[in-house]
Amino acid sequence: MSIPKHIAIIMDGNGRWAKKRLLPRVAGHARGVKRVKEIIEHCSHIGVKYLTLFAFGRENWKRPQTEVSFLMNLLLEQLDKEFLHLHEEDVKIRFIGDRSRLDKIICEKIEVIEKLTNANKKLNLNVAVDYSGSYDIIQAINTVLAEGKHKNITREVLEKYLLTYPNPAPDLFIRTSGEIRISNFMLWQIAYTELYFTSKLWPDFNKQALDDAIKWFQTRERRYGKISEQLE
């Protein structure tokens, strides 16, 4: 059975996981980070080549300042710890999104990690921070226009300016926590992606839950707009 080449995940439900346990929301984020490590390692082990994680959306800046500060400090902590460990596991790491609002020290560490892991080949990990699908499309269009190299913006041209390029489009999209929406994530890239929604909250989404999602994916007939052979 085929393993998805590229999996994209919205890691939702950290706050609700904490609330159910009468804990502060930040406790859910801290627990969610541990699950991130497990899922990355499992993807690498089973042969997934590309993994994109929605870590912090552009709309997330509207959350309480205490929570935003905690998330930024958590990211900084992981840059000093877990991302260096992933380098030892031959994982190539890229951060996609707008870096203009991130602290200078975070940007500097991101650049170090990206340069350090650039030649790694086992798994390509994209971490979406201050990212949205609409932002990605708009920045791509603006970049094409600013360069002035193309008379017409075709699909092939635009895709080369998306932040995920040259990664292929996701085969499988997963959203945890029971929410059934895309939330402005990879709007262009998931046009023909299989969408999987689970009620599990992100801190409870373990490698068995990922395997269940992949088993569901393996039952899908991917037609890309074509008529099913079963209906012909």
The answer, yes or no, to whether residue 227 has pLDDT greater than 80, is: no
Parent domain of 66: 57-119
Alpha carbon distance 150, 147 (integer Å): 8
Tally of domains in the chain:
1
Determine, yes or no, domain membership for 113.
yes
pLDDT in tens, 37-84: 999 999 999 999 999 999 999 999 999 999 999 999 999 999 988 888
Pairing of β 50-57 and β 194-197: unpaired
pTM of the shown model: 0.94
Give me the active site residues, please.
12, 60
Determine, yes or no, domain membership for 27.
no
Residue spans of alpha helices (H) in 96-176: 104-117, 133-147, 155-159
**Average pLDDT for 200-205:** 98
**9: which strand partners?**
53, 174
**Average pLDDT for 116-141:** 98
Mean of per-residue pLDDT scores for the chain: 94
In 3D, which of 183, 220, 223, 176 has the Cα closest to residue 200?
176
Determine, yes or no, domain membership for 81.
yes
Determine, yes or no, domain membership for 107.
yes
The answer, yes or no, to whether residue 228 has pLDDT greater than 70, is: no
| pLDDT of res. 72 | 96
Contact, 184 vs 57, CB < 8 A?
Answer: yes
Band (pLDDT 50/70/90 cuts) for residue 232 is very low
Determine, yes or no, domain membership for 196.
no
